[in-house]
Amino acid sequence: MKTFLLLLCLLLQALCQDYYQLLGVQRGASDDQIKKAFKKLSLKYHPDKAKGNKEESERQFQKIVNAYEILKDPEQRKIYDNYGEEGLKEHTQRQQQKQGHFNYNDVFSRFFGGGFQQQKPNHEQSLFSKSDVYEIEMTTINRFFRRDHVWMIYFYKNDDYGRQHKNTWNEFASKYYGIFQVAAINCAAENEICDDEFQVYEFPKIYAYPANIRQEPVEFKSRVEIDQLAKFAISFMESFVSIVTNDNYEKFIQQEEQHIVLLFTNKTSTPPLLKVLSKELKGKLVFGQVRNSDTKLVEQFQIKNFPTLMVVTEPELYRGVIYEQNDFKKEQIMKFLREYAYISKKVKKTHQGPRELSNLLIKNGACTTKDTKMCFIIITEDKDYLDLLTPLSYHYMKDKIDFYYINKNNLIYSEVFDDVSSFPSALVIKPKKERYAKLQGELTLSNVQDFLDSIISGNVQFKSMKDSLDLNIFKEDL
């Protein structure tokens, strides 16, 4: 009978998962060998690091934690060695009744976290507790795996070499808090992370990790000074900020769904704060930078101080809401921008039918340097061709084009366009630049559409107008 029971126990052990095999150690392994094997495998199968099937990683991770919990306890290990998993069931049930339901996350946290911290030798103590430096260890590394900003990581041991950069790294983290992540790893305490995950074996070392996890890290090799560190980190930052000038302003403001944010600055480079805002609010706001050297745009917005941050609410009129705080801190600016980030601009597409161009319309800004839209004009002696304008005005109502016609017999000053001598003639004016392009060929709907499509795509050459339209060129206002 005893032989039968022994064989039964051995059979049950064989059918169940072998904890030693699961951890990759021999049955006679020491406590240190078991602990080291567990730490290495938990790095490999941690669910936050899983690149493939996360559910499978979660299951494997639980098995590893369970095996470690059994083998690290002398009493449970002895029961397992003699009777296998079946022999542990009754013992485990009693323990759970006393201690509550087993939670593998709690075990993991105790193993890598505070439960063992007090037992660490002095050189394994952190240099950056209670600071803005993000400390990476097994229980916090998941945030690094899910990063969407640049990370600067200081690999160190708590020795004379590691401590020499402590103050600089703390100041660096404080100054650029929220711009990029400043982190540190004590490789004396987290040697498996440094060796296996980051493959860093010499200390101290500093690496930049781009937001794109597929990009390789780059080692920082200059003097450990805040300005040098910042310059290095900023070079890896993504930016969704456009340089806006008077020449491209009209095209830039054609953002119909999102509000526009402009920073007026006397700096040539894009500030890191604006870069990080443009990334975090991508798809919610459109960011641009106007340099003080673009005096015309600065004057039109009536900017007096640099830097000035503005949400542009009326782009055609060069008006907006200015951020009034003197302190350019991320938290305050985000609070200011949040009002506009989650509210789409109310853009109403109203149809503007064709009109006869007159002195009155010109005085009100139509087709003059004050007009931000292009003007399509037919100059004709009669109204035979005017039936073209109505369908065209509907077809291009989403584009910045207004449609007009001019009665040639009402003109008293016709030298604005030096090559318009036969009628009907059709042309497009860019009022702000005082340039125009003339339609060549027959005045048909298809020809006009081809002409306007080429204008919109930038494939038509414009020439300078002979004079401005800011003149009384018509006999009377109609």
- How far is Cα 176 from Cα 199, in angstroms, rounded to an integer? 26
Q: Return the ∠ at Cα 26 (arms to 22 and 30), rounded to 5°.
A: 105
pLDDT in tens, the chain (478 residues): 445 444 444 444 444 568 888 888 888 888 888 888 887 877 777 766 655 666 777 778 788 888 888 888 888 888 888 877 777 776 666 665 555 545 555 555 555 554 444 444 456 788 998 899 999 998 889 899 999 999 999 999 999 999 999 999 999 999 999 999 999 999 999 988 999 889 999 999 999 999 998 899 999 999 999 999 999 999 999 999 999 998 899 889 876 678 999 999 999 999 999 999 999 999 999 999 999 999 999 999 999 999 999 999 888 888 899 999 888 899 999 999 998 987 766 544 456 778 888 888 888 888 888 888 999 999 887 767 777 888 888 888 878 899 998 888 877 655 667 677 778 889 999 988 888 899 988 888 889 999 999 999 888 999 888 777 766 667 654 4
- What's the pLDDT at 106? 53
- Strand-pairing partners, residue 291, are 265
Burial class (CB in 10 A: 0-12, 13-18, 19+), 279: middle
Q: Is 199 exposed, middle or buried (0-12, 13-18, 19+ CB in 10 A)?
A: exposed
The total of other beta-carbon atoms located within 10 Å of residue 115's CB is 12
> Would you state the pLDDT for residue 71?
86
Determine the Cα–Cα distance for residues 478 and 186; give it in Å rounded to an integer: 82
pLDDT of residue 5: 46
CA distance 18 to 25: 10
pTM surpassing 0.75? no
Q: Give me the residue spans of the domains in the chain.
A: 15-112, 121-234, 241-341, 355-464
In CATH, the number for domain 15-112 is: 1.10.287.110
Residue type, 110: R
The 3-state DSSP class for residue 453 equals helix
Q: What is the pLDDT of residue 11?
A: 45
pLDDT tens-digit readout, 62-74: 888 888 888 888 8
Q: The domain 355-464 belongs to what CATH superfamily?
A: Glutaredoxin (3.40.30.10)
Burial class for 124, CB neighbours closer than 10 Å (0-12, 13-18, 19+): middle
CATH architecture of the domain covering 121-234 = 3-Layer(aba) Sandwich (3.40)
Q: What is the pLDDT of residue 45?
A: 74
pLDDT at 52: 63
Between CA 405 and CA 421 the distance in angstroms is: 16
C-alpha torsion angle, residues 20, 23, 24, 28 (rounded to 10): -40
Instruction: State the alpha helices, DSSP H only, in 246-319.
Output: 249-252, 272-280, 295-300
CATH number of 241-341: 3.40.30.10
Backbone phi and psi for residue 185, each to the nearest 5 degrees, phi listed first: -130, 125
468: Cβ contacts below 8 Å, ≥ 6 apart: 368, 369, 416, 434
Helices (H) and strands (E) in the chain, counts: 18, 16
Beta strands across the sheet bearing 355-356: 355-356, 401-407, 374-380, 425-430, 435-438, 463-464
Q: What is the per-residue pLDDT across 368-415, written as a single tens digit (0 to 9) for each?
A: 888 889 999 998 877 677 778 888 888 888 788 999 988 888 776 556
Q: Give yes or no on whether 15-112 and 241-341 have one common fold.
A: no
Calpha distance 453→457 (Å, rounded): 6
Instruction: List phi, psi (to 5°) of 153.
Output: -120, 130
